[in-house]
Each structure stands twice: as C-alpha cells, then as structure tokens.
Amino acid sequence: MVRKMMVVSAITLVLMMVFWGIFISSEKRVFYILGIISLTVCYQFCERLVIGGLIDYNMKNRFDHNKEWFSEKSFEKNLYKKLRVKKWKDNFPTADEELFSLKTHTAEEIIMAGCQSEIVHWLCAAAGFLTLFLIIPFGEWYIFLIISVFAAVYDMAFVITHRYNRPRLLKTLKRLNEKEN
C-alpha cells in the first residue's frame, strides 16, 4: 500500500505541474482548478507517508495499549453499532497487512500496531487541514475544504476500525494468557 501511495503522490505532483503549465499558456481556469486539486491530493498522500514513516521510525509499533487514550469509552459500543462498523471494517486497506496477521504476530503485537496506526490516522486527519492555509495564496477555499474534510473522514474510518477491533483483540489476548497460566 505504501508503494501505491508513493505512486499516487508522484502522479498528482506531475499532474499539478502539467495542469498549471497548461493554465499559464491557455489561461483556462479549469486547468488552474485541476492544478489545485492535484496539489491538494498530492499533499494529502505525502503527509500520510511522512507522518506514518516518522511515527513508525520512532515507535516501531510499541505503543502501550494500556494507556487511557486507547481504552474503550462508554459511548463507543453504541456508536459502532449505529455506524455498522462490523459490516465495513474489513474493506479498508492496510499499509502493511503482515503487521495485523495472527500467523506472524502475537495478539499483543497486533494491538500495539493498531494503537500506532490509530495515532497516525489521528495525526493525518489533523494535518490534512493544514492545506487550508493554501487558501491565502491560491483562493478556491471550497476545494481545500472539501478535500481536507473527505481525507479526515477517511482517516477517522481507520481510527474507528482500530478502536472497534482493540477490545476484541484484548479479549483474545486475555483468553490466551489464561490458557498459558
């Protein structure tokens, strides 16, 4: 998945330059708009690669899942039922599917990787709104806002998926530990 994200980043960067080149020579506004869309999409993908890479480099999937931040909140079960998370949670891509495999990792390792992924997606959702500062030089506020909101909603779906799965994985871990003892 990381490779695909890098390809999309490169393609949207090239598209941005092509569209703005066409805009400069033709002065057709549609190419200016397409250039802004390409710039914003490129940023959204690049910032996810950077944030994910930095967090992974520093933490190496070793977040403490016992911290209060990662505990299930009282409202979450009802929210997940209303959102029907169980039906759609498996349809999202993973940067590295091997990290979430019980064949190669313990339940605790998967839980820690999920905690790290949750933090990455929270940070990406927030950082995605930094493109709103580009409204000042480029205008076209609605493009930056729509793409930022869409990207944040997409990131929050990953956060929800991890928060939905974590209590179930913790139960599995508890059962495994009880069997060992």
Contact 121, 135 (CB under 8 A): no
Question: d(Cα 21, Cα 14) in Å, to the nearest integer?
Answer: 10
Pick from 119, 164, 140, 159: nearest CA to 29: 140
Contact 120, 5 (CB under 8 A): no
Residues in contact with 159: Cβ distance below 8 Å, sequence separation at least 6, in sequence order:
118, 121, 122, 125
* Domain residue spans of the chain: 2-180
Handedness of CA 28, 42, 153, 139 (dihedral sign): negative
Question: d(Cα 122, Cα 116) in Å, to the nearest integer?
Answer: 10
Long-range contacts for 13-17 (Cβ within 8 Å, ≥24 apart)? 13/38, 13/42, 16/42
Helix axes 2-26, 29-59, angle to 10 degrees: 150
Q: What pTM did the predictor assign?
A: 0.87
Question: d(Cα 84, Cα 164) in Å, to the nearest integer?
Answer: 11
Question: d(Cα 157, Cα 23) in Å, to the nearest integer?
Answer: 36
DSSP letters of 60-104? TT---TTSGGGSPPTTHHHHHHHHTHHHHGGGS--S-GGGG-TTT
pLDDT in tens, the chain (181 residues): 888 999 999 999 999 999 999 999 999 999 999 999 999 999 999 999 999 999 999 998 888 888 999 999 999 999 999 999 989 888 877 877 777 877 888 888 888 999 999 999 999 999 999 999 999 999 999 999 999 999 999 999 999 999 999 998 888 888 887 887 6
